[in-house]
């Protein structure tokens, strides 16, 4: 079946069928989080292992809520919304606000007002110092709040759930445990996610539909980031779920090369300037 490149504005509720791999990720995420709490209480492991288990679970959360944002989980809008809300909860972030911001990134790729410029306009090691700009962007968005009343209520309820969890943990004397099992893992997972989704695919690239997102064809990276190293595939065909990126890349490689989509083979190199398709100055990945 021929797959057509998507227009700039992203449509919603486009899935033809239920995407079970994403639902399995959602289940795996909560199984890891719940199992980690159980082990922590009943058979405590070294603290670093508990932090890593939760970080892995929250790492899965990105793919879950990201698929919900693009309505690839189900043909039913409410299913996508429920999956998105529960997928976003470990991030402690309002889902519907984040959905709007993410779709703005697709619509304004690498332009001056692309919300992702918070992450992609400087060296990665300085990224944590730029997070406050993301809060400023959210404040700007809220001045002309694009969410419906129901979406705002859902976002507020999610924040109240997070606040309640930390409030109960503090009241019962478990605040340090909550920090170990949730806060610290979130910081780690957030930095990793920002690296492979927000920074690496876009840094140094122009505001162009084809040349604005790179692909890193690095075999060992693919399973670790659930295929998001083929991020240009997602920007061109955002209705294709995460587990279809690599196969679509193989089918459309000639098309991608004709349109100068950056295809690179290195992860660890200086990402200050863009290189051409299959650029010779890339280091072996």
Tokens standing for residue 10: 């992203």
Among 199, 227, 246, residue at a domain's last position: 199
Q: Is the pLDDT of residue 155 over 50?
A: yes
Q: Look at residue 48 in the predicted model and tell me its pLDDT.
A: 97
In sign, the C-alpha dihedral spanning 127, 220, 275, 5 is negative
Residue 61 has pLDDT above 70, yes or no: yes
Please check whether residues 117 and 191 belong to one and the same domain.
yes
pLDDT at position 35: 97
Q: Give the CA distances from residue 97 to residues 104, 208, 232, in Å, rounded to whole numbers and listed in that order.
A: 11, 25, 24
pTM strictly above 0.85: yes
Is residue 51 within 8 Å of residue 180, measured between CB atoms?
A: yes
Angle (CA) 96 89 113, round 5° = 40
Domain count, the chain: 2
Residue located via tokens 């349109």? 259
Domain end (from 199, 215, 234): 199
Do residue 176 and residue 229 come from a single domain? no
**77 with 126, same domain?**
yes
The verdict on 54 and 158 lying in the same domain is yes
Residue 111 belongs to a domain: yes
Q: Would you say residue 15 lies in a domain?
A: no
Q: Is residue 3 part of a domain?
A: no
Sign for the CA dihedral angle at 199, 205, 209, 210 comes to negative
Of 159, 179, 199, the last residue of a domain is: 199
Give domain status of residue 13, yes or no. Answer: no
pLDDT in tens, 117-147: 888 888 888 888 888 777 777 777 778 888 9
- Which has more confidence, 277 or 43? 43
Instruction: Verify that 104 and 230 share a domain, yes or no.
Output: no
pLDDT of residue 92: 94
The partner residues of 264 in beta bridges, in order of sequence, read 216
Q: What is the pLDDT of residues 236-284, one digit of tens each?
A: 999 999 999 999 999 999 999 999 999 999 887 755 544 444 443 333 3
What confidence tier does 6 reach under pLDDT thresholds 50, 70, 90? very low
Closest residue by Cα to residue 245 from 233, 256, 255: 233
- My answer on whether 73 and 128 are in the same domain is yes
* Confidence (pLDDT) at 12: 53
Can you give the residue range of the structural domain that contains 227?
207-285
Percent of the chain at pLDDT above 90? Answer: 74
């Amino acid at each position: 079946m021929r797959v057509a490149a998507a227009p700039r504005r992203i449509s919603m509720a486009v899935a033809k069928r239920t995407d079970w791999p994403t639902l399995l990720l959602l289940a795996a995420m909560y199984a890891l989080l719940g199992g980690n709490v159980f082990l922590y209480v009943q058979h405590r492991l070294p603290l670093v292992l508990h932090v890593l288990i939760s970080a892995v679970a929250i790492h899965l959360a990105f793919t879950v809520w990201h698929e919900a944002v693009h309505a690839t989980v189900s043909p039913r809008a409410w299913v996508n919304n429920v999956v998105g809300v529960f997928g976003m909860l470990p991030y402690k972030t309002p889902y519907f606000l984040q959905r709007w911001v993410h779709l703005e990134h697709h619509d304004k790729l690498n332009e001056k007002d692309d919300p992702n410029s918070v992450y992609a306009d400087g060296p990665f090691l300085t990224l944590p110092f730029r997070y406050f700009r993301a809060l400023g962007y959210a404040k700007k968005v809220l001045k002309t709040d694009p969410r419906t009343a129901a979406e705002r209520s859902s976002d507020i309820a999610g924040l109240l759930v997070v606040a309640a969890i930390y409030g109960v943990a503090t009241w019962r004397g478990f605040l340090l445990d909550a920090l170990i099992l949730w806060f610290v893992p979130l910081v780690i997972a957030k930095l990793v996610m920002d690296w492979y989704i927000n920074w690496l695919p876009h840094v140094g690239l122009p505001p162009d539909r084809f040349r604005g997102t790179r692909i890193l064809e690095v075999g060992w990276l693919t399973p670790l980031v659930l295929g998001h190293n083929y991020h240009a595939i997602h920007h061109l065909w955002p209705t294709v779920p995460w587990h279809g990126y690599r196969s679509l890349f193989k089918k459309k490689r000639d098309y991608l090369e004709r349109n100068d989509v950056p295809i690179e083979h290195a992860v660890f190199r200086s990402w200050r300037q863009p290189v051409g398709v299959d650029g010779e100055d890339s280091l072996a990945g």
